[in-house]
Amino acid sequence: MTDFAVVDCHLHIFPPLAGPCGFPSAEAHLVHQQRAMHVHGNQPYRRRRDHAVTTERHLWRADDPSEAGRATDVGFRVGRFGRFEWERNGEDYYVQFLPPHMADLSASPDGMIVEMDYAEVGTAVLQNDHIYGNLAEYFAEAARRWPGRFVGLAQVDEPFGYRDEELHALEDQVRRLGMRGLYFTMTGFFRNGYRVLPDDPEFDPLWRTVGRLDLPVFWVHAAKSPAGDYLDEMRRLRRIVDRHPTVRHVLVHGVPTGLYADEKDRIVWPDEIAQLLDRHPVWAEVLYPIAWGGRMPYPYVRAQHHFRQTCERFGPGKLVWGSDMPNVGRYCTYRQALGYVWDHADFLSADDRRRIFRENTLELLAAARPA
């Protein structure tokens, strides 16, 4: 397909999700999974007996985003074949979060290596939401067994990331386990009820540590939460960038360009986004199928149009391609998650391709090599 090894900046490996997966217990892990399924929007809730879609949200109180708002009477659990399940008023419900072929909701590293080989992907960056666990040890072992194929990202307990124990844990994940960036999700802030957010000066010890370790931060923004909408989150990121200008940032899943397209599908870029990408060390993932795959057929023609506009506006030097495997398998194959842009972006030069599909990601991670 190409004369260089493609780098995927967004892939997951994880053990069976019904287990602790690095948490103190399976129950502690389940709290994060239940919150994640409460805020998850790409796949609908369905009633099990007839698979009808339901809009009622059963898993968390709408008026309490803190941990106290968790519904404890629904029997929420990790099911089989990609589903999370629960009961409400005598009815069984589920959400098809992962592809149906994932019987025990696991993605083994050796299985992902085969997927990468088949899609002709050389190296993958291992991102890791708490849905999957706290997996730095798991990532380190995979990187040891398959040298050059996996690069892991560290985690903290986000709402408490400024505390000494979290800073020590981050340093350990980088120096002992070889993690090369920090994955940071806004969905984790249910743990403090969204009372203190990452642009608060209280978080400065975390961002100073990230800067000292020279780690890129891979941000997952919720776009709609008690922390505000996507532009609120960009304003918050801008305040962090202004106070810590050497730290590099990646917008996981990319900019939600569909929010800013006019009636002719031309993207009208808000200043909050344009200024970050134009003037600051901020990059965006190219990753449309995970959000758009349920709304349109492959090869996602509208996504191709948005990708081209993004590339022409900010240049290929600000874009990194990612797949979100194996999650994206609920919509398309790994090869299609690459091909919808690779096969149809004839406006890209050979150098543009090398940058977007390899060099930009490697350069972001290179400075964070462990001591």
SS3 annotation, 319-359:
EEECCCECHHHHCCCHHHHHHHHHCCCCCCCHHHHHHHHHH
Strand order in the sheet with 6-11: 6-11, 121-126, 150-152
- What pLDDT shows up at residue 2? 65
- Beta-bridged to residue 182, according to DSSP, are 154, 217
Q: Give, for 125, the enclosing helix (H) or strand (E).
A: strand 121-126
- What pLDDT shows up at residue 3? 75
Tokens matching residue 185: 């999700």
Q: Measured between alpha carbons, how far is residue 255 from residues 201, 273, 274, 319, 320 in Å?
A: 26, 8, 10, 11, 12
Q: Give, for 151, the enclosing helix (H) or strand (E).
A: strand 150-152
Is the N-terminal amide bond of 326 cis, ω within 30° of 0? yes
Provide CB contacts within 8 A for 196, sequence distance 6+: 159, 202, 203
Sorted by where each starts, the structural domains of the chain and their CATH numbers stand as 6-14+106-366 (3.20.20.140), 26-96 (no CATH)
- What pLDDT shows up at residue 207? 98
- What pLDDT shows up at residue 291? 94
- Compute the distance between CA of residue 259 and CA of residue 269 in angstroms, rounded to an integer: 10
Is the N-terminal amide bond of 65 cis, ω within 30° of 0? no
Q: Are strands 77-78 and 83-88 parallel, antiparallel or unpaired?
A: antiparallel
CB 111 within 8 A of CB 123: no
Q: Cβ–Cβ contacts within 10 Å for residue 313, how many? A: 13
Given CA atoms 251, 252, 254, 260 in this order, what sign does their dihedral have?
Answer: negative
Residues 310-316: contacts with CB under 8 Å, at least 24 apart? 310/254, 310/255, 310/257, 310/267, 310/284, 310/286, 311/345, 311/347, 311/348, 311/352, 311/356, 312/347, 313/267, 313/269, 313/274, 314/277, 314/278, 314/284, 316/348, 316/351, 316/352, 316/355, 316/356, 316/360
Provide CB contacts within 8 A for 293, sequence distance 6+: 300, 328, 330, 331, 332
Q: Within 13 Å, how many C-alpha atoms sit on residue 241's CB side?
A: 23
Tokens matching residue 10: 């967004």
- What pLDDT shows up at residue 371? 47
Burial class (CB in 10 A: 0-12, 13-18, 19+), 312: exposed
- What pLDDT shows up at residue 367? 66
Return averaged pLDDT per consecutive 10 residues of the chain, 371 residues in all.
Answer: 87 98 98 96 96 96 95 98 97 98 98 97 97 98 98 98 98 98 96 96 98 98 91 98 98 97 98 98 98 95 97 98 98 97 96 98 80 47
Which pLDDT tens digit goes with each residue over 87-146?
Answer: 999 999 999 999 999 999 999 999 999 999 999 999 999 999 999 999 999 999 999 999
- Compute the distance between CA of residue 156 and CA of residue 218 in angstroms, rounded to an integer: 12
CB 11 within 8 A of CB 127: yes
- What pLDDT shows up at residue 223? 84
Q: Measured between alpha carbons, how far is residue 103 from residues 19, 80, 83, 99, 114 in Å?
A: 14, 5, 9, 9, 18
Q: Angle 9-139-77 (CA atoms, 0-180°, nearest 5)?
A: 95
CB 136 within 8 A of CB 177: yes
